[in-house]
Amino acid sequence: MSRYKAVVIGASAGGFELLVNLLEALPASFPLPVLVVIHTASSGNTLSQALAKAASLSVVEGVDKQTIQQGRIVVAPGGYHMLVEDEGYISLCVGERVCHSRPSIDVLFESAADVYGDKLIGVILSGANRDGANGMKYLCDQGGLPVVQDPATAVSPVMPKAVLKQCDVEHIVKPEEIPELLVQLAQ
């Protein structure tokens, strides 16, 4: 049984296609919940519907007080921060923007690290701002495992580079290597 209990993923500019490919490559048997924040102009269920077409796992848009379930992908809805609560459920809020973003990767990563501690895997993909760097640092400080897209492979390397400046990261990988790594870590 895996020591890990959840995966959080953050992406921004250049990250949508990578996220689609990553989720498409995860097997239907992937046992961990996957919580996702991506900065996008899409609203409503558009983003979660697009990801659901690619993924073999169930993909839903986050809803306030929704229970976090194994093997399910939860995508933060546009305009809301998505947080993980101690009782194992999602909460949504419209707090201030972080790095000009709501939903914020930092907010998700920090709240998930508070709940899961060293049983959390954090993944940062391509992005054009620093959102995610502080959240990943906090995740690392709580003993979580950081996984960062190699900035040399990113359409926009600002986000991965910002994380690498703040954290010691063992897994700096090409996007196509992330699904296999997650499957190995989830075993």
Catalytic residue among 39, 48, 81, 126: 39
Is-catalytic flag, 150?
Answer: no
Catalytic residue among 81, 111, 126, 131: 131
Model confidence over 135-174: pLDDT tens digits? Answer: 999 999 999 999 999 999 999 999 999 999 999 999 999 9
Model confidence over 5-26: pLDDT tens digits? Answer: 999 999 998 889 999 999 999 9
- Cα distance between residue 32 and residue 181, in whole Å: 13
The pLDDT value given to residue 18: 92
Is-catalytic flag, 86?
Answer: no
Q: Is the pLDDT of residue 53 over 90?
A: no
Closest CA to 19 of 186, 168, 179: 179
Fold of the domain spanning 6-186: Rossmann fold (3.40.50)
Predicted TM-score (pTM) of the model is 0.95
Catalytic residue among 12, 101, 111, 156: 12
Mean pLDDT of 102-107: 94
The 3-class secondary structure across 19-40, one letter per residue, is HHHHHHHCCCCCCCCEEEEECC
Closest CA to 113 of 33, 6, 3, 1: 6
Is-catalytic flag, 12?
Answer: yes
Mean pLDDT of 104-124: 97
Model confidence over 62-79: pLDDT tens digits? Answer: 999 999 999 999 999 989
